[in-house]
Structure 1
Amino acid sequence: MKTPVAARLARSAAIAAAALALTACSVLKPGGGSESGTGAASPSSPTAAEGGSRDIPTVRLITAQTPAIRTYRKTGARHIYKAYANRIYKGKIPPLVYAVVVVETDIDANGKVNNVTFSRVPSHAPEVPPMIAELIKATSPLPSPGKLGGHTYVDTWLWDKSGKFQLDSLTLGQRSR
């Protein structure tokens, strides 16, 4: 049985060993020793200077799906529905929808669409995502997000082979047959 002093010393040693191990991991990573802490090579770093640039993806933060964001999704979807009233699939969508596309829309504090990206695209329907991006950009600006400010929100587009669609935030559901 350890004395309280020995137990504290063992715990302190374990914490110090863990801290050293974590520090060693970041030092050994390429670009890990940079002062920025991002792991990306700075313009003056040897990696970038030698022409060995690395394609490090930019991290985009998707806004958490809080009640306020879900409400804004519906507001944005209504805006799109109003702009394309003749393209909205009326009623419940068929059980085998042609394409399901998960869209990330970056907007600024005024509702201007800055970027449209996709986190799920259908491999069998590569023509659909570019059409969706154009539809969204053509409706810009979306309604002002108010206190939410600029953010990225996610919505799912359910695309019928007729070219009509519904957005998941306003869908009427799917037929069983």
Structure 2
Amino acid sequence: MNFTFASRTTQADDRSGVTHRALAWIAVCSAVFLASCAAPVATPRPAEPAPSSAVAPLPQAGPMPELVSEAGTPRDYRRDGATHLYGKNGGRIFKGQLPPLVHAVGVLAISIDSVGQVRNLYWMRAPSHAPDVVKEIERTVYAAAPFPAPACLASVTYTDTWLWDKSGNFQLDTLTEGQRNK
């Protein structure tokens, strides 16, 4: 017994041919793209100057910062910034726990550049009822510069809360000793 099969072209066969051609096209494009990524472009090197007997000194980018912070995040830097401010204002730090009601509370974001200089101050919550305190806090921050240079960060902006007593002394939330109940 011989069986013969009739050859019939269906719509499904036509689609599979289109699908195979599309896949082949995608494969070729992918191969070309990958080849272009793998082959480095040769660029001519500039001619090297003739060696001289004197070696030119390397240019200095500026003075190296005296204080350096190894903090990896703004939150870690916050402790270094607060410690620096306490060190520069030892006589103005409120000793012990603050009274239950303080004269002013302010939340200040401080931007420090790569060498420890203050770039910007941004009040997130200024004590608007005490403009003298706002001015004094800003003066205190600028006077404490340079801050520790953020070695692991190009620059840093950190936020701290200033707790200001009516005596003119303050604590920072990062290093606060807390508040009394009464």
**SS of 2:75's equivalent?**
helix
Q: Distance in 1 between matches of 2:87 and 2:176?
A: 14
**Distance in 1 between the 2:101 and 2:109 partners?**
23
2:158 aligns to what? 153
Deviations along 1:64-117, one digit per CA (max 9) or x if unpaired, are xx9732221111111110111000000111110110000110110111111112
1:169 is aligned to: 174
Instruction: Give 1:134's aligned residue.
Output: 139
Letter in 2 for 1:148: L
C-alpha contact (below 8 Å) 2:72/2:152 kept by paired residues: no
Q: Deviations over 1:6-44 (max 9, x none)?
A: xxxxxxxxxxxxxxxxxxxxxxxxxxxxxxxxxxxxxxx
- Counterparts of 1:149 and 1:161, CA distance in 2: 37
Unpaired segments of 5 or more residues in structure 1? 1-65
Q: Which residue number in structure 2 is paired with residue 112 of structure 1?
A: 117
Letter in 2 for 1:130: K
| Structure 2 CA distance for aligned equivalents of residues 91 and 76 of structure 1 | 20
Q: 1:102·1:154 contact (CA, 8 Å) conserved in 2?
A: yes
Relative to structure 1, the CA distance from residue 138 to residue 162 in structure 2 (aligned partners, 3 Å threshold; closer, same or farther) is same
Q: Please give the TM-score of this superposition, normalised by the length of structure 1.
A: 0.60
Whole-Å separation in 2 of the counterparts to 1:69 and 1:115: 15
In structure 2, the residue corresponding to 1:136 is in which secondary structure? helix
TM-score by length of 2: 0.59
Give the number of equivalent residue pairs. Answer: 112
1:91 aligns with 2:96: yes
Distance 2:77 2:173 in 1: 13
CA distance in 2, matches of 1:155, 1:171: 11
Alignment CA distance shift 1:67-1:100 (3 Å): farther
Give the alignment's Cα RMSD to 1 decimal. Answer: 1.5
Contact 2:85–2:144 (8 Å) recurs in 1:
yes
Aligned residue runs from structure 1 range 1-177, under 5 A: 68-177=73-182
CA apart distance, 1:152? 1.3
Q: Which runs of 5+ in 2 are unaligned?
A: 1-70
| Higher alpha-carbon Rg | 2
1:90 match: secondary structure: coil
8 A Cα contact 2:102 2:163, kept in partner: yes
Q: Is the 8 A contact 1:100 1:158 kept in 2?
A: yes
